[in-house]
Amino acid sequence: MDLPTIWFVLIAVLWIGYLVLEGFDFGVGILLPALGRNEPERRAMLHTIGPVWDGNEVWLLVAGGATFAAFPEWYATLFSGFYIALFLILLALIFRGVAIEYRNKRPELAWRTRWDWLIAAGSFVPALLWGVAFANIVQGVPIDADKEFTGTFFTLLNPYAIVGGLTTLTLCLTHGAIFLALKTDGDIRARANRWAGRIGLVAAVLAVAFLGWTLMLRGNPAAVATSLLAAVALVGALVANRLGREGWAFLGTALTIGLAVTTLFVTLYPNVMPSSTDPAFSLTIENASSTDYTLTIMTVVAIVFVPLVLLYQGWTYWVFRRRVSAPTSTVEP
């Protein structure tokens, strides 16, 4: 593979890592007001993601930085065309982070409840809009000969993109519920298990519809294979969840999200942003990439630092691997 192709693959890996790891954070956040019936339970839910949620967001920063450096034309067109959607995601992530940090600054229940709803909203918006954004990228958006986006925010709100957003939303909810079942004990665990089973069925229907629609738009044999594997992984996750095997269930939903994102990138290649105006105006890995010199330097840096980051994050998850119990949970998230 040439360097642009290698960096296309690496950016896909970064997005897979981000959506798999941040996906359960979003799910936990959205479920916080509904699944947690009292303050100790909500605190326990937040404790499950407390040590890792901010580290998971680093994947987004790296993915954005890698796109800017490796494919500047893609970055420019994407951020100018999707400006409002990405700005809403950014605001939601900021508010969610502030809410997680501030909810325990005062003991009043009303104070904490308001922050809990902000955490839920700050998790809901990106879980939905990332799916909308990726669906539009795969489907194609109006781009002219100067590689400029010529649509509006409402251009992005088309039926295919909305189905994509609902798919990522329900997958994150299922992923988060299974993570809660894996990381908690007692009533929260039992309730999270039930919620995962119910939401998972909705996610399965939406995922089949969205991936099937994607294959009709830009299908190829590799995309068909990854889609089938994603379906198998989701079915396996729901079966494992029903049997109370949360570890296998969590692995299944992680594989489902990873394979679904892989399918989107496989259908996209060799484009990075297809044009619905004229295929000749599409951004590809060749006409949107940086110089070989830039990509070579980036490759060397990635080889050195990416393994270190992975080792550190893996160590973090290992240290905080124990289950959380609501009655005895006292550590601030």
Q: Which two tokens stand for residue 162?
A: 């909305």
Q: What is the pLDDT of residue 52?
A: 86
Distance between CA atoms of residues 333 and 322, nearest Å? 15
Contact 140, 280 (CB under 8 A): no
Rg (CA), the chain: 20
Answer yes or no: is pLDDT of 314 > 60: yes
Residue 140, helix vs strand vs coil: coil
Give residue-wise pLDDT tens across range 274-304: 998 988 999 999 999 999 999 999 999 888 8
Q: What is the pLDDT of residue 332?
A: 40
Q: What CATH code would you report for 14-319?
A: 1.20.1630
Distance between CA atoms of residues 233 and 217, nearest Å? 23
Domain ranges of the chain: 14-319
Q: Confidence class of residue 261 from pLDDT cuts 50, 70 and 90?
A: very high
Give residue-wise pLDDT tens across range 78-100: 988 899 999 999 999 999 999 99
Q: What count of residues does the chain have?
A: 333
Answer yes or no: is pLDDT of 181 > 70: yes
Answer yes or no: is pLDDT of 329 > 80: no
One-letter amino acid at 279 equals P
